[in-house]
Structure 1
Amino acid sequence: MTTDPTPAARPLLQVSGLRKTYRTGAAEVVAVDDLSFSVRAGGALGIVGESGSGKTTTARMLIGLERPDAGRILVQGEPLAATVRGKEARLARAKAVQIVFQDPYLSLDARISIGATIDGVLRLHGLHDRAARTARARELLAQVGLGDREAAALPRRLSGGQRQRAAIARALAVEPAVLVLDEAVSALDVSVQAQVLNLLSDIRRDTGIGLVFVSHDLAVVRYVCDEALVLYRGRTMEHRPVADLLTAPGHPYTRLLLASVPRPGWDPDSISRRRRELDPLKRHGPG
C-alpha cells in the first residue's frame, strides 16, 4: 500500500504528461509531448532549447495562458484548474505561479509608477492597510535592489535591468510558490544579467520559492539552476543535474547546444551541418 508524500516531502511543483498541439491548416503540430518534471521548494530547474523547442509553450501552460491537451500540473500538491472563474480562483492561481517575461513592459503598467504598480498588487491580494502596503512595497523593492527613487519613477525612466528587477518585485508581491522566468535576462547586458541572476539565487535561498528558468542560454542556466531539462521539438532529450549535463552531455542535441556557444575556433558551418544531421532525431528521445 502506498501513501501520499507528506507536504514537507512533496515537490513544490509537479508536472506530468503535458501535451500541447496546435493546428496549422490541415496539419497538427505537436508543441509539447509527454513532458514531466518536478521542482522542490527552493529548487531551480532550467528548461533549455532553441526557438520552436516548446519551452515557452510550457511556460504558458504553467501560468494558465495555454491549456494542455493532456497531463496535469500540481503546485504544493494541488492541481491547477484548467479553467479559472471568479476573483478568488484567479487570485489563488496567481499565488500558485507567477511569471517574469523577457520584456518587463508586459507586466509593468507604463502609465503608473513602479511603487503604485506594486501597491495595486498588494491591495488586490488583500492588504488593505495603506501604511502596511507602503512598508511592504518598500521591502519588496529593497529585496531586488531598488529604492524610493525607482519606486516613484515610471517604467520608461528606468534602465532595462531596473525594469526587470521591478518586474520580479511585482511577481514576488503575490508571494507565489513558483516563479517562472521566460528568457528573463536574455535582453540584458552581460553585467546586468549577472546582477539579476545573483538576485534570483538570493531570493530562492531566502524564501524557498521554486524557480523554473526558461532559456536558450546554457551559460545562464548553469549559473542559477540545479537541474536542466533539454527540449527538442517538444520532447525531453535529457533531464539531469546541470553540472553533469554540461560536462558530459548524453544527447546529440545537447552537444549541439553546447557547441553553438561562440568561442575561439568556433565553426558556424560545422554547427549548421550538425543541425541538419539532427533531423532524423526530431521525434526520438535520448539514446
Structure 2
Amino acid sequence: MTTAPTPALLQVSGLRKTYRTGGTEVVAVDDLSFTLRPGAALGIVGESGSGKTTTARMLVGLERPDAGRILVQGEPPADSVRGRAARLARAKAVQIVFQDPYLSLDARIGIGATIDSVLRLHGLRDPAARAARVRELLSQVGLGDREAAALPRHLSGGQRQRAAIARALAVEPAVLVLDEAVSALDVSVQAQVLNLLSDIRRDTGIGLVLVSHDLAVVRYVCDEALVMYRGRTLEHRPVAELLAEPRDPYTRLLLASVPRPGWDPDSIGSRRRSLDPKNLPG
C-alpha cells in the first residue's frame, strides 16, 4: 500500500499585493511562491520596504492578496474572517508573533489570564484543564508562576516575547510566523529566544516562518532563506548555500551588513550607495 505524502504546512504560489498611495500603485509583493514542510523553518529576509512584513500579514489573514494562493495543510484558509468560526479556524492554523509583544498581550491583565482567555475562546471549558495548560505553556517558554501573575509592563522584553510565543502556541497552530520577533531584544536575550524557538520546533513539529532583516538571526534558526527586494524574490535556497555563495549583489550586501570582527558600517553605506540599481529587480 502506498502511503499518501504528508501535505505541506504552507504552500504559497503567485502571491501579489498592491497598494494605492496618492493615486500611484505600489507593488508590495510580486509573484511570491514557497513551500513550508512540517517541522521546517523558512527565513524571509529583506530591508524595510522589501515586502516581507506584508507577506507575513497575508499569511495570517491580516491582509488579503490581490492574486495568488495560500494553502494551509493542503486547504485554502477561510476567504472571509467575518464570522467567529472562520476567525478561530484561521487562528488555529497560523499564528503570528510581532516585534512588539504589546500588540498581542493585554496590558490590563496578567500573562496567565491572557493565555487562559485564549484557551477559553478556543473551546477549553474546564477551568482546571485550562490552568494546567497555562502552566504547561509557560513552562515550555521558560516562565513560571511569578510571570503568570505579572502584568506585561512588569516583565522584561525577553519575558514579554516569551509570553507572546506561549500565547501563540496556546491554539496549537500548524505554522508560527515571527515578524521581527527578536529584533528589539539584546543579543543575549535574542539567543535565548532563538534557542527556545529551535526547541519548540524540534519538540512539536511546528513550521516556522521567520521574517527578519538580519541574516545572522535567520542562520541561527532556519533551514532555508528567501531574500526579498521590492516585493520580489531574489534568491531562495538552503541557508548554508545562500550564506556561503550569495548569488545576487543585494544578498551579498545584506550578508556584509552582519556585524563581525573588523566590521566597518561606513563601508557598508558606501557599498549600498555604489550598488547599481539596474542590477537589482524592481
1:19 to 13, 16, 21: 16
CA contact (8 A) 2:80 2:86 kept: no
State the Cα distance separating 1:281 from its structure 2 match.
3.2
Q: Quote the residue 2:90 is aligned against.
A: 93
- What is the letter of the counterpart of residue 54 of structure 2? T
Q: Quote the residue 2:279 is aligned against.
A: 281
CA contact (8 A) 1:141 1:169 kept: yes
State the Cα distance separating 1:32 from its structure 2 match.
0.5
CA distance in 1, matches of 2:263, 2:141: 37
CA distance in 2, matches of 1:268, 1:198: 28
Which residues in structure 2 correspond to 1:68-217 (within 5 Å)?
Answer: 68-217=65-214
Deviation digits for residues 64-87 of structure 1 (CA, Å, limit 9, x no counterpart): 111101001100001123321211
- What is the letter of the counterpart of residue 220 of structure 1? V
State the Cα distance separating 1:269 from its structure 2 match.
4.5
CA distance in 1, matches of 2:125, 2:178: 29
Structure 2, unaligned stretches of length 5 or more?
Answer: none
Structure 1, unaligned stretches of length 5 or more?
Answer: none
Q: Quote the residue 1:63 is aligned against.
A: 60
State the Cα distance separating 1:25 from its structure 2 match.
1.2
Deviation digits for residues 139-178 of structure 1 (CA, Å, limit 9, x no counterpart): 0000000001100110011110000000000000011110
1:249 to 246, 251, 273: 246
CA contact (8 A) 1:233 1:282 kept: no
Question: Is 1:50 aligned to 2:78, yes or no?
Answer: no
- What is the letter of the counterpart of residue 278 of structure 2? P
The percentage of aligned residue pairs carrying the same residue is 84
What is the number of equivalent residue pairs in this alignment? Answer: 279
Which residues in structure 2 correspond to 1:231-246 (within 5 Å)?
Answer: 231-246=228-243
Normalising by structure 1, we get a TM-score of 0.94
CA contact (8 A) 2:95 2:176 kept: yes
Q: CA RMSD in A?
A: 1.4
State the Cα distance separating 1:278 from its structure 2 match.
3.8
State the Cα distance separating 1:26 from its structure 2 match.
2.2
2:226 to 229, 233, 239: 229
